[in-house]
């Protein structure tokens, strides 16, 4: 079945921002238009990373029970903590990617508590300092995934909690040991955070336009598909292909073509809502994520883009259905864009709604 052709976006009326849709998205948690650090990681990657850190903690706790550690150590307690860490790791692997974001904060709190209890189980033994080094694991997670403010809050809380368990451990030199541990942990956390942030921004940003690239777009789309399906909201994706852009490069040169792309991207960004996501897929192709937006309003949004820049384009729009996946949405929108291009310049095509669930086909 060929995609249904929609009128040119300039013919659409309205601003594409229904008050009801906007309110629902704001309440649910708006998404930034440009890539951010956390959104560049898919739920599956985040779950696997969390499971890996808990698995490492479980393995270290288990191995520690089989090496010399002193008569005052509560070995049974360590084994229990190792089992708990293993359960959390398995849970993250099995269902972590389907959970909302808040359980990650809960597991972060649990990790600090578990390590603190592990230090308590090692009171009056120098091994308490070794166990406290496990604070590095939740610090790495926080540094890799939390915004700067939350990371600083976490480091302050962790330093306070670790002081409470180490300074009461009864081990000589506990204060010096805590200073060394807290200083090392905070330094590692800050260094990892700064480097991760710089690397992620570079990895998910198109250097010419400053927009998200495809690598950043796909995890954001995956998150929005899950969120909108959970809340019962519509979600549309548009693939945009510039009309006649090759002629611009051939006639005026690639430097002028780059200037046109940069200025057009800036103009388009200004015409979008704060929670829409515009990304450059490559060359003269762009993708647009429109949360809580049906195809009618998606065409209206494309109309705003057409009025914001003199550069003509054709576009294909696909709306999510239950079970939609990232590759399915992009394929349907791309096929619709292909159909629009064959109808002529400045056209928009809407992909037909699938008759079967994409995740069952």
Taking the CA atoms of 4, 358, 337 and 7 in sequence, report the sign of the dihedral they define. Answer: positive
Place 361 in a pLDDT band, splitting at 50, 70 and 90: low
pLDDT tens for 167-221 read 998 888 999 999 999 999 999 999 999 998 888 888 889 999 999 999 889 999 9
According to DSSP H, which parts of 96-145 are helical? 102-120, 127-132, 136-145
Do the beta carbons of residue 111 and residue 137 sit within 8 Å? yes
Say if domain 4-34+209-360 classifies as CATH 3.40.50.150: no
Q: Which residues contact 297 (CB under 8 A, 6 or more apart)?
A: 14, 16, 17, 18, 21, 236, 290
pLDDT at site 354: 85
- On the question of pLDDT at 14 being above 60, the answer is no
Q: Give the pLDDT confidence of 240-270 residue by residue, as tens digits.
A: 999 999 888 888 898 999 999 999 999 999 9
Give the pLDDT score at 53.
94
Q: Where are the beta strands (DSSP E) in the chain?
A: 4-6, 212-213, 235-242, 277-282, 285-291, 313-319, 348-350
| pLDDT digit string, tens, across residues 308-319 | 999 999 999 999
């Amino acid at each position: 079945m060929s995609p249904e052709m929609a009128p040119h976006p300039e013919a659409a009326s309205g601003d594409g921002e229904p008050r009801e849709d906007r309110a629902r998205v704001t309440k649910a948690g708006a998404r930034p238009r440009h890539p951010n650090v956390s959104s560049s990681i898919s739920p599956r990657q985040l779950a696997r990373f969390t499971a890996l850190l808990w698995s490492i903690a479980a393995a270290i706790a288990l191995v520690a029970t089989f090496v010399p550690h002193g008569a005052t150590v509560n070995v049974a307690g360590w084994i229990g903590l190792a089992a708990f860490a293993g359960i959390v790791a398995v849970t993250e692997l099995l269902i972590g990617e389907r959970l909302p974001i808040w359980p990650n904060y809960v597991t972060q709190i649990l990790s600090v508590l578990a390590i603190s209890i592990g230090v308590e189980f090692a009171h009056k033994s120098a091994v308490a300092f070794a166990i406290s080094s496990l604070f590095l694991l939740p610090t790495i997670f926080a540094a890799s995934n939390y915004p700067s403010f939350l990371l600083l809050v976490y480091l302050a809380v962790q330093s306070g909690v670790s002081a409470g368990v180490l300074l009461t451990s009864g081990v000589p030199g506990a204060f010096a040991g805590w200073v060394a541990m807290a200083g090392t942990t905070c330094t590692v956390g800050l260094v990892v955070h700064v480097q991760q942030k710089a690397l992620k921004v570079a990895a998910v940003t198109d250097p010419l336009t400053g927009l998200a690239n495809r690598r950043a777009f796909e995890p954001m789309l995956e998150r929005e598909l899950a969120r909108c399906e959970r809340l019962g909201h519509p979600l549309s994706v548009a693939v945009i292909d510039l009309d006649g852009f090759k002629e611009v490069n051939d006639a005026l040169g690639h430097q002028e073509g780059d200037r046109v792309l940069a200025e057009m991207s800036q103009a388009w960004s200004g015409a979008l809502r704060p929670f829409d996501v515009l990304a450059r897929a490559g060359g003269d192709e762009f993708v647009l994520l429109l949360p809580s937006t049906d195809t009618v309003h998606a065409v209206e949004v494309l109309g705003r883009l057409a009025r914001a820049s003199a550069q003509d384009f054709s576009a294909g729009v696909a709306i999510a259905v239950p079970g939609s996946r990232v590759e399915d949405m992009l394929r349907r929108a791309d096929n619709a864009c292909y159909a629009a291009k064959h109808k002529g310049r400045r056209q928009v095509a809407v992909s037909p709604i699938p008759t079967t669930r994409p995740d069952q086909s």
